[in-house]
Amino acid sequence: MIETSPPPQPAPPPVFAVQKRRLRFLGLTLDDTIKAFFGGNALVAVVVLALITVFLFREGAGFFGQNRTNLEIYRQAGLEYVDFIRRQTDDHTALTRYLSDLRLRQVMILTERERRPLDEVNAALAPFDAFAEQFSATVDPLRALLSDLTEQVTAIKTKFIVTQDRKEERRQLLAEGKPAEADAVKIDTIDFATELKPILGALPLYKETSREFSRKLVALLDSVPSLPSPELHPRMEKLKQLARNYAAGFPAIERDMEAWEHTFPVPAWETFTAFLFGRQWLTASFWQDWYGILPLLIGSLLVSAVALALAVPLGVGAAIYVNQIASTREQRLIKPCIEFISAFPSVVLGFFGIAVLGQALRLLSQQPWLSWMPGFPYSERLNILTAGCLLALIAVPTIFTLAEDALNNVPRAFKEASFALGASRLQTITRIIVPASLSGIISAVLLGLGRVVGETMVVLLCAGNRIAIPDFTSGLAVITEPVHTMTGIIAQEMGEVVRGSIHYRALFVVGLVLFVLSLLINYAAQKIVRRYKLSIG
């Protein structure tokens, strides 16, 4: 044992005149605890943001696996194979539609411009009608074949789904600890190769039908009757050309079908591309469900574009007016009013759109003096334009308030210096004030965009809810078409889907896309403000 000197005694605490006793709990004073409590609350925003991400992923992540199975069965059960033929008949339908459109134009010309009675018009169009009938009949044998094959592959797919359900049943029984019942569940194995044999065996029949179809079609094109109005002849020629091109494409389809194998693998990335670039959102269909976000994304973007096109000039214009031009009295009146507009609940605006604005805009579009506008007149009451106008009313207050703030932040000295140099008020506004606050104005517009993209009730009620990519060929007239949007589809379908199904998960992935989009817009707005901030002072 080594003797050690006792440790040095700590110095006695100093004696203060006023002493405060501090309660300590887990080493924290009361003040520390309170601080920690408040700090914890400040963290809530971060936690909520993280939780949103986690739960969207948690519910949505399974989608990609399920969609891959969905795509695999599409291939393995031969649905993809039959879709080659389906596309061929669909194209023919498009040509028939072109023909009936042509007839409609002809009838319009004859009845409205030449004021001929209807039976005379019908008589004049008799040879054309006969041709159209023959034209649409050419596809019938092919269509019969298609419907046979459709039935057969649907049967294969149903079989597969039944086995999937059985497997799930057995898994659940096992999980519940009932192995005997689980063994009783019979699971058939499906050998796709044998199941598909009769379908692939129909290829020679298909080739024969298709060639016959092509021969008839081309032969028919040589005897096209001419239309009474010469101005429609170019359209007829175009139809001929289209039909010839169509028939010329048949060998390529044959080659594709010959090369097709049901064993082609579905790579993992295809489930992502099928979602991000898929052109169809088709659910609960008897044939094949598609989950492609493109029609919804385009719908959302188009509606937002219309809304911003209206809201940016109005919102920024109003901000400039109120901040720079208006008298103080006018300012005091306008600002609360615009703030008041921002308090309008969106569902009330949506209702206004259904009850009043949709009808009013349609009537306006049918005025003859407005017929120069693209897409006017139109007949769908609820469309991009209706929703866009209402969303503009939602975006204006946001843009106005933020842009006005930005204008307000321009130092007085800038304005005074500009006046001192002899600039007029307009020159000062356009050359000094607006450029100096441009970053703030742009970020205001971006935040307005974020507001509009995320808005649900107005687009759900007023955008028309047609899930299809609108027709861009007519240029700006696209704004008079109905669309469906990302926010709208979630609100509409979430209440009806089965929990855990692929459709349910797909909606969560759409939500995730929306979430990421809103974060990106926000990020861009902040970046612009910071990056292009004028160094003032």
Partner 1 sequence: MNAATHVFRSTAGARRGERAIFWLFRAATWFVLLCGAAVFLNIFVKGSRTVFKAEAPFINTTFLTEAPESLYIFEWEGKKREMGDREFRAFKEQNPAAAHVATESYVYSAGGIWPCIVGTVLLVVGSMTIALCLGVSAAIYLNEYARDGAFIRFVRLAILNLAGVPSIVFGLFGFGMFVIFFGWNVSLLAGWFTLAFMVLPVVITASEESLKAVPKGFREGSLALGATKWQTIRKNVLPYALPGILTSSILGIARVAGETAPIMFTAAYVVRDKLPWDVDRLGDFFFQGVMALPYHIYVVSSKIPQNDYTERVQYGTAFVFLFIVALIATSSILLRNHLRNRYKW
Q: Which of residues 329-368 bind partner 1 (CB under 8 A)?
A: 334, 336-341, 343-352, 354-356
Residue 363 is which amino acid?
L
- Is residue 318 close enough to count as binding partner 1 by CB under 8 A? yes
Question: Residue 281 forms beta bridges with which residues?
Answer: 291
Q: How far is the CB of 385 from partner 1 (least distance, A)?
A: 15
| CA gap 401, 279 in Å, rounded | 38
Between 41 and 189, CB nearer to partner 1: 41
- Is residue 491 close enough to count as binding partner 1 by CB under 8 A? yes
Residue 198 is which amino acid?
P
Between 170 and 451, CB nearer to partner 1: 451
- Is residue 441 close enough to count as binding partner 1 by CB under 8 A? no
Choose, by CB under 8 A, the member of 6, 8, 422, 537 that binds partner 1: 422
Choose, by CB under 8 A, the member of 24, 58, 238, 244 that binds partner 1: 58
What string of H, E and C letters represents the secondary structure of 273-319?
HHHHCCCCEECCCCCCCEECCHHHHHHHHHHHHHHHHHHHHHHHHHH
Q: How far is the CB of 44 from partner 1 (least distance, A)?
A: 5
Between 179 and 317, CB nearer to partner 1: 317
Q: How far is the CB of 175 from partner 1 (least distance, A)?
A: 19
Choose, by CB under 8 A, the member of 30, 94, 144, 276 that binds partner 1: 30
Q: How far is the CB of 529 from partner 1 (least distance, A)?
A: 11
CB atoms within 10 A of CB 275: 21
Lookup: tokens for 48: 């909520």
Helix (H) or strand (E) holding 85: helix 79-108
| CA gap 41, 533 in Å, rounded | 31
Residue 388 contacts residue 303 (beta carbons within 8 Å):
yes
Q: How far is the CB of 437 from partner 1 (least distance, A)?
A: 15
Taking the CA atoms of 473, 479, 483 and 484 in sequence, report the sign of the dihedral they define: positive
Between 221 and 423, CB nearer to partner 1: 423
Q: How far is the CB of 364 from partner 1 (least distance, A)?
A: 14
Helix segments in 176-293, DSSP class H? 179-184, 192-201, 203-221, 233-248, 250-259, 268-276
Q: How far is the CB of 517 from partner 1 (least distance, A)?
A: 9
- Is residue 501 close enough to count as binding partner 1 by CB under 8 A? no
- Is residue 297 close enough to count as binding partner 1 by CB under 8 A? no
Q: Which stretch binds partner 1 (CB under 8 A): 4-12, 65-73, 132-140, 503-511?
A: 503-511
Q: How far is the CB of 299 from partner 1 (least distance, A)?
A: 14
- Is residue 409 close enough to count as binding partner 1 by CB under 8 A? no
Choose, by CB under 8 A, the member of 2, 45, 175, 259 that binds partner 1: 45
The b-or-e profile of 212-240 (16+ CB within 10 A means b, else e) is ebbebbeeebeebeebeeeebeebbeebe
